[in-house]
């Protein structure tokens, strides 16, 4: 789906905040991520849980566009765990 | 200078307005500024008194009930709530065609989330300067 760290590396990450946006379609999770990333410190990690396939593709693009570091995605049954690091 | 998206909303049906709200949310998430220009039926749909009762679709009218259930199952908010959330999160300006407002005998405070009245020249010139412009 998207480039990023291998699953084993991602699983070791202790996120500063987890947003559970499962059951919400695009663009809800995207806006939730935009809001949540301001609530963690710079260099902190945000994890977004989303069951929306559009969001799993959108969030890496969003992170890169707005200047955060996309770390990777873990695909779980029925949802995705998307990791990013706040950079600004 | 931030990138800008312009939406000219001429239509007033909730299916088209949902598309406008989704695009606005996406642009806000991408740190773009959004200028929305309401024209005839767009102004009508944004009248506060019409927000919730405006349910007629532009296409496949027979599917209105099915669509409403489907959108609810998908966790999607109504277009007007989605737009309000986007406006709270980023820079979204909602401008109203003054002629259309006059046609509906509407004051600025009668129109949902409206910021100001504009004329046609401003709509065209802002759209010309924007990175993206849509007519809905």
- Domain count for chain A, please give it: 1
- Domain count for chain B, please give it: 1
Mean pLDDT for chain A overall? 93
Pick from B45, B48, B1: nearest CA to B21? B45
Q: What are phi and psi of A22, to 5 degrees?
A: -65, 140
A11 assigned to some structural domain: yes
Quick check: A1 pLDDT over 80?
no
Whole-angstrom distance, CA of residue B119 vs CA of residue B103 = 14
Quick check: B1 pLDDT over 90?
no
A75 assigned to some structural domain: yes
User: In chain B, whose CA is at the least distance from the CA of A38?
Assistant: B89
In CATH, what number is assigned to the domain containing residue A31?
3.30.110.40
Q: Report the pLDDT value the prediction gives residue B99, as an integer from 0 to 100.
A: 94
A62 assigned to some structural domain: yes
Read off the pLDDT of residues B61-111 as tens digits, 9 standing for 90 and up.
999 889 989 998 988 999 999 999 999 999 999 999 999 999 999 999 999
Out of A30, A65, A66, whose CB is closest to B25? A30
A1 assigned to some structural domain: no
Read off the pLDDT of each residue in A30-38 and give the average, rounded to a whole number. Answer: 94
ipTM: 0.74
Say if the Cβ atoms of B22 and A28 lie within 8 Å: no
Say if the Cβ atoms of A23 and B89 lie within 8 Å: no
In CATH, what number is assigned to the domain containing residue B113?
3.40.1260.10
A2 assigned to some structural domain: no
Quick check: A30 pLDDT over 70?
yes
Q: What are phi and psi of B78, to 5 degrees?
A: -60, 155
Read off the pLDDT of each residue in A17-34 and give the average, rounded to a whole number. Answer: 93
CB count within 10 Å of CB A10 equals 19
- The size of chain A, in residues, is 88
Per-residue pLDDT band at A2 (split at 50, 70, 90) = low
| pLDDT-above-90 percentage for chain B | 91
Domain that holds residue B109: 4-135
Say if the Cβ atoms of B85 and A62 lie within 8 Å: no
Domain that holds residue A27: 7-85
Peptide bond into B20 cis (omega under 30): no
Q: Is B101 on the interface with A (CB under 8 A)?
A: no
Read off the pLDDT of residues B32-46 as tens digits, 9 standing for 90 and up.
999 999 999 999 999
């Amino acid at each position: 789906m998207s480039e990023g760290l291998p699953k084993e590396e991602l699983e070791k990450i202790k996120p500063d905040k987890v947003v559970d946006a499962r059951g919400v379609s695009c663009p809800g999770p995207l806006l939730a991520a935009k809001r949540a990333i301001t609530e963690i410190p710079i260099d902190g990690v945000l994890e977004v849980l989303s069951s929306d396939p559009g969001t799993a593709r959108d969030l890496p693009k969003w992170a890169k566009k707005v200047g955060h570091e996309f770390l990777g995605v873990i695909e779980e049954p029925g949802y995705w765990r998307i990791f990013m690091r706040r950079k600004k | 200078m931030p990138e800008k998206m312009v939406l000219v909303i001429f239509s007033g049906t909730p299916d088209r307005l949902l598309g406008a709200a989704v695009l606005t949310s996406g642009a806000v998430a991408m740190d773009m500024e959004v200028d929305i220009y309401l024209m005839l039926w767009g102004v009508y749909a944004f009248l506060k008194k019409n927000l919730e009762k405006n349910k007629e679709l532009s296409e496949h009218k027979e599917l209105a009930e099915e669509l409403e259930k489907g959108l609810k199952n998908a966790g999607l908010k109504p277009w007007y709530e989605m737009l309000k959330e986007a406006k709270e999160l980023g820079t979204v300006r909602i401008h109203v065609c003054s002629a259309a407002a006059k046609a509906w005998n509407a004051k600025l405070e009668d129109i949902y989330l409206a910021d100001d009245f504009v004329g046609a020249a401003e709509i065209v010139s802002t759209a010309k300067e924007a990175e993206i412009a849509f007519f809905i």
